[in-house]
Amino acid sequence: MPNTSTIETAPRLTKVQWLICIIAAIGFAFDIYELLMLPLILPPALRDLAGIQLGNPQFAYWRDLMFYLPAFCGGIFGLLGGYLTDRLGRRRVLVFSILLYAFSALAAGFATSLPMLLFLRCTTFIGVCVEFVAAVAWLAELFPNPKQRESVLGYTQAFSSLGGLMVSGVFVLISKYGSHLPAIYGAHAEWRYTLISGVIPAIPLIVIRPFLPESPAWQEKKMAGTLKRPSLAEIFSPELRKTTIITTLMFACSYGAAFGAIQQLPQIVPGLPELRGLPRQVVQPIVGTVQMIQEIGGLTGRFLLAFLVIRILSRRKLLRVFQVPGLLIMPLVFIFPATSNLDLLKWGIFFCGLLTVAQFSFWGNYLPRVYPTHLRGTGEGFAANIGGRMIGTSAALLTTQVTALMPGELPAIKLAYAAAAVALLVYAGGLILSFFLPEPKQEALPE
């Protein structure tokens, strides 16, 4: 049972702590905002920059590159960012990473070729991957009270799904009213405006940055000369090896469900019977609406996780609250509604988002409790970036490769069946691995 006296005496947030929470929430929101742009902007960007349409072999080639190469680069540099978070400090790396992904997104809006767009998506992804690790370590160490720490991590991460809602809403609005915005290269391409909107988080950060404190736990050790040097090898020491391997594989399963299934929706929805043959300007807002419903589900899931995280002591049981129903619901949604009924798909994808996205918040709460201060960024960076960003996102590539083996007359139907198969695979894998997940030894963060 949680320590009751500790819970009851949780101090009120100070003004500086509220400021910290606001910046963290903005950072988390635009992390997902930047990432979830891709499924929305990819089809029109490929068409405008290279004349490539869905069904063309080149479409699959560039789609796979745009999904996986940025994730691969983000994984490599995100791991380096975790190491630098332990070496240079949480705040410094956090600020740099947010500025990197914001201005990369701005530049991507002016891309003139697919290689240029791909490069800028890579730098955007690198910033996002580093930001998550730095922000989680920073927040965990700024709030020493266990209940307050768990709540702050849970609720600030919930804003990640608000970022998904925001990008879906922005895309819908731009699809309708983009013709009233200033022309870029003589056209009003909605994908360019959507990318440019990713610069927004840089604006408050530049203003507020001088008021943000460094992590006291990291700073005190650094000033006293007792901060150990981070080591990638140390997270595979006998004491931490099991934790590192299991969390990396489970993080991969969580991301695999999102990239292998949910993020394929913008290419699946246009193949529904109700939308076949309709003009693009009619279909695109509907695609954005479906994406928005999924993000509402994700937001609900994150808030549900934040509510449950201080009420369910066992981390394994907490995670299975989302894994067990997801194992059943995800494949069924992609096999049936995603191929035949738009209205039912909207209901189903809400629950898919809820059950899958909540797991992302789980890892943000869990990982700081299993690594000591000098390895917190490195350990988080390995699980999140090697497991989630590199291995997990490769599920998108797996889905597209499996598509050719699926039944169905239309590419969208084949893709939906492939997404169902991959969702079943990664959910089953995650559930099995949960039985080996180490429980944190204490409520306080390890020193």
Give pLDDT tens digits along the chain (447 positions): 344 434 445 678 888 888 888 888 888 888 888 877 887 888 889 988 988 877 777 888 888 888 788 888 988 998 999 999 999 998 889 888 888 988 999 999 999 999 999 999 999 999 989 988 998 998 999 888 888 899 999 999 988 878 877 887 888 888 888 778 888 888 888 889 989 988 887 888 777 877 788 888 899 998 989 989 999 999 999 999 999 999 999 999 999 999 899 989 988 999 999 998 888 778 878 887 898 898 889 989 999 999 999 899 899 999 999 999 999 999 999 999 999 999 999 999 999 999 999 999 999 999 999 999 999 999 999 999 999 888 998 898 899 889 989 998 899 999 999 999 999 999 999 999 999 999 998 888 888
Beta strands in 143-267 (DSSP E): none
DSSP secondary structure letter of residue 145: S
Nearest to 303 by CA among 443, 118, 159, 433: 159
3-state secondary structure of 187: strand
Q: Is the dihedral of CA 131, 135, 138, 141 positive or negative?
A: negative
DSSP H helices, 209-341, are: 216-224, 241-260, 265-268, 280-308, 315-335, 337-340
- DSSP tag of 386: I
With a CB cutoff of 8 Å and minimum separation 6, the contacts of 293 are 346, 349, 350, 353
CA distance 205 to 92: 12
Residues 6+ apart with CB under 8 A from 212: 19, 20, 23, 91, 95
Instruction: Please give the pLDDT value at position 33.
Output: 86
Domain-located, residue 439? no
Tokens of 228: 């150990």
Would you say residue 253 lies in a domain?
A: yes
Domain span including residue 319: 15-211+239-434
Which residues fall within 8 angstroms of residue 253, CB to CB, at 6 or more apart? Answer: 392, 426, 427, 429, 430, 433
Task: Please say whether the beta carbons of 207 and 22 come within 8 A.
Answer: no
Q: Could you tell me if 398 and 422 are in contact, meaning their C-beta atoms sit under 8 angstroms apart?
A: yes
pLDDT for 6 equals 41
pLDDT at 58: 85
Total structural domains in the chain?
1
CATH at residue 287: 1.20.1250.20
Cα–Cα distance, 221 to 233 (Å, whole number): 21
Q: Taking the mean position of all CA atoms in its chain, how far away is CA 171?
A: 18
Residue 47, domain member (yes or no): yes
Burial class for 410, CB neighbours closer than 10 Å (0-12, 13-18, 19+): middle
Total residues found in the chain within this entry: 447
Q: Identify whether 224 is part of a domain.
A: no
**Has residue 1 been placed in a domain?**
no
Residue 227 inside a domain? The answer is no
Instruction: Tell me whether residue 168 is in a domain.
Output: yes
Q: Is residue 232 part of a domain?
A: no
